[in-house]
């Protein structure tokens, strides 16, 4: 997964656990696409302080994911739901009764895994 996309997803899940300053610097860089220099000027801090704050914030977000695994679980569930939808769509086109029974059993199994 693209690193920026991954960090943004981590921020979506864990952003509220950050300090206001961490949220501000992260949002300015990744959401508003400001450079370190632009952020430094806006916040009246050094460019190096911006870089340090951003790296620290990225580390914190990755640490939350390592401990809690919410993003990984979300992505896994999304993949499972996609598989269920694909099976349901093929049920509409396949005519063999035995094939439909196998697909429905697979859908039930996937749903049970998601709910576990």
Tokens of residue 43, six digits? 């916040």
User: How many angstroms separate the CA atoms of 18 and 33, rounded?
Assistant: 19
User: How many angstroms separate the CA atoms of 44 and 59, rounded?
Assistant: 23
- From the number of C-beta atoms within 10 Å of its C-beta (0-12, 13-18, 19+), residue 114 rates as middle
User: How many angstroms separate the CA atoms of 31 and 38, rounded?
Assistant: 14
What's the pLDDT at 21? 95
Per-residue pLDDT of the chain (116 residues; tens, 9 = 90+): 599 999 999 999 999 999 999 999 999 999 999 999 999 999 999 999 999 999 999 999 999 999 999 999 999 988 988 888 787 777 766 666 677 777 788 888 888 888 77
Residue in the block written with tokens 């063999």: 96
What's the pLDDT at 37? 96
The answer to whether the predicted template modeling score (pTM) of the entire model surpasses 0.95 is no
User: How many angstroms separate the CA atoms of 105 and 84, rounded?
Assistant: 11
Provide CB contacts within 8 A for 17, sequence distance 6+. 60, 64
């Amino acid at each position: 997964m693209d690193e920026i996309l991954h960090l943004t997803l981590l921020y979506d899940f864990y952003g509220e656990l950050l300090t206001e300053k961490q949220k501000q610097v992260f949002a300015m860089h990744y959401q508003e696409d400001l450079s370190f220099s632009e952020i430094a000027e806006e916040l009246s801090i050094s460019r190096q302080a911006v870089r340090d704050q951003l790296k620290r914030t990225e580390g914190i977000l990755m640490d939350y994911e390592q401990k809690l695994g919410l993003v990984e679980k979300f992505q896994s569930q999304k993949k499972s739901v996609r598989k269920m939808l694909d099976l349901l769509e093929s049920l509409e086109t396949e005519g063999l009764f035995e094939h439909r029974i196998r697909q429905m059993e697979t859908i039930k199994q996937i749903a049970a895994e998601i709910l576990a």
